[in-house]
Amino acid sequence: MWKIINLFLIASASTACFATVNTGVLSLDIEQSDVAVTAPVPTEKRIDNIDVYKLTPSAYLLYRGQMMSKFLYLKFNDNLDLKLLMPYINKAASINSIDAELIAAVITVESSCVRNAVSKAGAKGLMQLMPDTAKELDVKDPFDPEQNIIAGSKYLSTLLKEFDSPKLALAAYNAGPGTVKKYQSIPPYNETRNFVKKVLDRYLSFKKHGIGKVIK
């Protein structure tokens, strides 16, 4: 009888010990799981908040999901990011002694950065050169961003020197120098007045915040 009771007690103790060990392991697993929970990734470190242009100047190659040269990208892609045009804008600014911010402002207002933009009047390219103006400036391909921006900036620089006024120069760029001379001021055309205002607003914005902060 005592043997049976002893065996029962030993079995009960073993069971209790086993249960305790299991409970301890289970508790430990839960605590480890709690510790393993990672903190949220800070917003500024998320990949969708990274400015890839700061990582590499060749980031535009990612736009079309395939590798291609910058020349081909700019030649065949119609809607261009203003940042991609900066080498040409800076080059044109240096050649023609004109602010890069002003050139960028004219591009965003004239063509909205659409490489092959054509107006109802026949103006072409990023800074919307009229055929006769493009011919005078020896532009072979008005849809080539580099040719168009450099030529358009040269024309704008000439107007700035001629009228000695940013407002009148921009009005002449839009409506023609003859029209500005006729009125001796910004012509009474809504299109021209809106153009001058938008360009100057964006120019001031670019000067303050940097090129690329486009106002919609």
Give the pLDDT score at 205: 93
pLDDT of 206 > 50? The answer is yes
Record the tokens describing residue 93, joined without a space.
């600014």
Lowest mean pLDDT segment, chosen from 48-57, 124-133, 199-208 = 48-57
For 3-67, give the DSSP string. HHHHHHHHHHHHHHHHHHHHHHHHHHHHHHHHHHPPPPPPGGGSGGG--HHHH-TTGGGGTTTS-
Question: How high is the pLDDT of residue 61?
Answer: 43
pLDDT band with cut points at 50, 70 and 90 for residue 211: confident
Name the residue ranges covered by the structural domains of the chain: 1-37, 78-209
- What was the pLDDT predicted at 85? 92
Average pLDDT (73-89) is: 70
Report the topology of domain 78-209.
Lysozyme (1.10.530)
pTM, entire model: 0.64
Catalytic annotation, residues: 110
pLDDT in tens, 91-116: 999 999 999 999 999 999 999 888 88
**Could you report the per-residue pLDDT of 60-77, keeping only the tens digit for each?**
444 433 444 444 444 444
Q: What pLDDT is recorded for position 90?
A: 96
